[in-house]
Structure formats: C-alpha cells, structure tokens
Amino acid sequence: MKELSLHLLDIAKNSTAAGATLVRIELTESAQRLLTIRVADNGRGMPPSLLAAVSDPFTTTRTTRKVGLGIPLYRMAAEQTGGSVELESAEGSGTVVTARFHLDHLDCAPLGDLPGTFALIIQGSPQVDFLFSHTTLRGGYTLDTREMREMLGPEVALDAPEVFAWITEYLWEQEAGL
C-alpha cells in the first residue's frame, strides 16, 4: 500500500470484523521524527496460535481467499524505515497493533488522506465507536464518536450524508492545523 492511511483502513476493518465495539486509532509524532501508530480494539482477540502466525502472508481467517497480506505489508512498510510492528492480543480482550515509522527515512510512506480515511472508517461501521487522535509537536486533535452520538442523539446516524460531510470537513480542518 502506498499510504499509511490505507493500512489504517485495513486494520480498522479487521477490528470491526472481529466484533469490536470500540476502536482507538492514535498517531503520535515524536521530536525524534518517530511516528507511532497504535490501533487498539475490544474485539474477540486472537488465540496464541493465530497471533504467532498473523505475520505470515498465507495466514488468514477469511474463507474467501487463502492469503492475508494486511499485517505482513504493514510490517514491511515499518521495517523498511527502521521501524517495527508489534501485536498484542488475547481471546476475549481485543487486539493492539503498534507500528513505528522513522519519518525521515527515504522509504517512509506518506500518511495519505487521514481525514478521508477516518471518515470512511466511521461511515463503513456506523454502529462501532471510534476514537481518533493525531498528535504532533505542533499540536493535536481528537475525534470521539461517542461524544458525537451524545450530541446528535439516537435519531441521527453517523453514516448520514450530512454527518459524513461534517466529519470529513472537521478532520481536514484539524489536520490543516497541524
């Protein structure tokens, strides 16, 4: 994948497929130009045997195909910058995927369209709660769908076109401020 945001889309989709009701996606840039991306969910989690094999491209839980390239490609993207990917998971407790990228490395993929990706993640799974945060040395922001639900009330869905448009615009404004 050419952009890190596409990896986030893939991992978030895995989280929702695993029955998560809350997915936290946190991006943090350090003074050493290290980008840490942490995706944590409260889904089913993985048994130890699957966790040990998840980096193998021929390991997948899908029945429609025999390969699962998401985590192997994500790991490769991080490692080619001198970074890493760590996975933690326990059955019934969810999964945490933490990746580190050296932003100054020549092979570091661009972040891509974070606002569009985050909005698409929400629109694709409107029944799931998401907490997005992006923190840089210049500032940061957070978007929590639980707060949005509270403000909008039960009669307005997060995947409604006007809500999707507002989310996208809000995220673009926040990213522009970084």
Domain ranges of the chain: 4-176
pLDDT for res 66:
44
Lookup: tokens for 73 = 């490609």
Which pLDDT score, from 0 to 100, does residue 60 have? Answer: 54
Sheet holding 129-136, edge to edge: 84-90, 94-102, 34-41, 22-29, 129-136, 139-144
The ranges of the chain with pLDDT < 50 are: 65-67
Q: What is the pLDDT of residue 149?
A: 96
Give the single-character DSSP code of 80. Answer: T
Q: Which two tokens stand for residue 20?
A: 């998560």
Closest CA to 96 of 85, 87, 107: 87
Is residue 94 within 8 Å of 40, Cβ to Cβ? yes
155-164 pLDDT tens trace: 999 999 999 9
Asked: is 4-176 a CATH 2.30.29 domain? The reply is no
CB proximity list for 154: less than 8 A, separation 6 or greater: none
8 Å CB contact between 8 and 29: no
3-class SS at 71?
A: helix
End-to-end Cα separation, the chain, in angstroms: 24
Q: Give the pLDDT score at 72.
A: 86
* Predicted local distance difference test score (pLDDT) of residue 109: 97
Q: What is the pLDDT, as a whole number, of residue 127?
A: 96
Per-residue model confidence (pLDDT) at position 51: 66
pTM: 0.91
